[in-house]
Amino acid sequence: METLHERLADYSVLVAEDDPSTLKWLVRILEIYFKKVHGAADALEAMELFQRDGADIVIADIQMPDVDGLSFLQKIASLAPATLRITMTAFNSHAYLNRALDAGVHFYLKKPIDIDELLVAVAANLPAPEATQKGNMASLAGGARYDLQQHILYDEKGSFVRLTRKERDILELLIHNHRGVVSVEKIEASVWEEPVTVDAIRMVVAGLRKKLPQGTIETHKGLGYRIILA
């Protein structure tokens, strides 16, 4: 069985935290598990490091000088959608949580940070140990496959499955953001050219579900949808 250390060892991390002692502690602990860890005292320094070296995982405190953590993570999402984005906060209000969702954060952690909780949550949100995507082919749970270049869905028997345009667009959006939950708001903004009701989105997702193996798309109530890759 793969250990937690083995699961995380091939990934790099960038931590943005304006409290020096917390930043030093986090970097020191994370260096035990990840191949490379960078620490930054604010969002501006973190962005410079990200643009220079990149990172598979970015962890940012919400409250930082000049540029707050959520604005920073939102920029990361636009630059590198596949990057796993985590925020740390001492607050638990709906306003902060809604902002985190709008910023495309995969999950948040309450301060003081429980390092075991952080490591387990990161491991759970990383791609499966086996390659989830070979070239342009995404392997979905249940044996289905999707060709991202040809925009073709194949079922578990290898047969072609016809999709509507919106079903295709939602499927590709979920695949490209498979590390986290994709909000209904993000689906609306990415797939529809005009405002649409939540029920309309649910109907398209329901239709897509019927064409995929059971359990391929998860519903996270109040948050959105997540696709499960093989």
Q: pLDDT digit string (tens) for 18-47?
A: 999 999 999 999 999 999 999 999 999 999
Positions of CATH 3.40.50.2300 in the chain: 4-125
Contact 127, 139 (CB under 8 A): no
- Looking at domain 133-227, its CATH class is mainly alpha
Arithmetic mean of pLDDT over the chain: 85
φ, ψ dihedrals at 182, nearest 5°: -95, 120
CATH code that applies to domain 4-125: 3.40.50.2300
Beta bridge partners of 38: 14
Q: What is the pLDDT of residue 106?
A: 83
Residue 85 has pLDDT above 80, yes or no: yes
- Mean pLDDT is highest, among 89-103, 124-138, 139-153, 212-226, for 212-226
Residue 146: both structure tokens together: 């999707």
Q: pLDDT digit string (tens) for 128-146?
A: 554 444 457 889 988 999 9
127 band by pLDDT with thresholds 50, 70 and 90: low
Residue 208: both structure tokens together: 């897509």
77 C-beta neighbours (distance < 10 Å), count: 20
One-letter amino acid of 98 = N
